[in-house]
Structure 1
Amino acid sequence: MADPMTHIATLRRPRLLIRAARHGQANYSRERTLARVLTQPQTSADDVLNDLMQTEARIEATRTNGDIAYSVARHIEVLIALMGEAALMLQRNRTPEGI
């Protein structure tokens, strides 16, 4: 898969889903949320993001197909985790000013 940050930046989802996920990001708990949404334990931040992107893509396909199994709550939870992990990765990748 291409650069995770580029992929996340180009996601296009309904505005209401994104707004709900942004609102939920304030209470994002990495330990609590990742335990529920990851399909298997991951060892690196890139692996976590890739797992979340694949999970979100499956949920989005379920939504766009009109499948009765679609859960808006689960979709928002995965989007919160995806946005939270992306923000954490950006913080880790920033270098201190003056160096």
Structure 2
Amino acid sequence: MSCQDRESIVTVLQTLARIKRPQLLLRTARHGTRDYNRNTDLRRILRVPATPPPGVATVRALIELEAWQNEMRTRPPHEIGTPWRAARHVEVLIALIAEAGIMAEVVQPVA
């Protein structure tokens, strides 16, 4: 792994560490990771025809999707638009947690 790859992975992991969400959402998502199947779930969540490879690009796509879900969750109730669905937000968080774990396994501490 190149130094640049390691830096981009570390940057993404730092971004994830700064995300603050309600404990109920996170707890539910953590429980859901046990049943996560990246071949079917990731395609459905990202709405793509083929499962993307694990890595920084996939995690970044999920970070953006989760940020949008959170935006919908926190917007004022009088605004019209796509309604926030807790189940959709949780499934995005499940994929994000699982994919970040897969990506983090690649990062090995420098001796």
Same fold (TM over 0.5): yes
* Alignment root-mean-square deviation, CA: 2.3
Structure-2 residue corresponding to 1:28: 36
The structure with more radius of gyration: 2
Matched, 1:47 2:57: yes
TM superposition shift of 1:94: 2.8
How far apart are the structure 2 equivalents of 1:94 and 1:3?
A: 15
Q: Report the TM-score, using the length of structure 2 for normalisation.
A: 0.76
* Count of residues in Structure 1 that have an aligned counterpart in Structure 2: 96
Structure-1 residue corresponding to 2:83: 69
How far apart are the structure 2 equivalents of 1:71 and 1:80?
A: 14
Are residues 39 and 3 of structure 1, via their aligned partners in 2, closer, same or farther at CA, if it must alter by over 3 Å?
A: farther
- The residue identity in structure 2 corresponding to 1:12 is K
Structure 2 stretches lacking a partner, 5+ long = 1-7
CA contact (8 A) 1:45 1:89 kept: yes
Identical-residue share of aligned pairs (%): 33
Q: Report the TM-score, using the length of structure 1 for normalisation.
A: 0.84
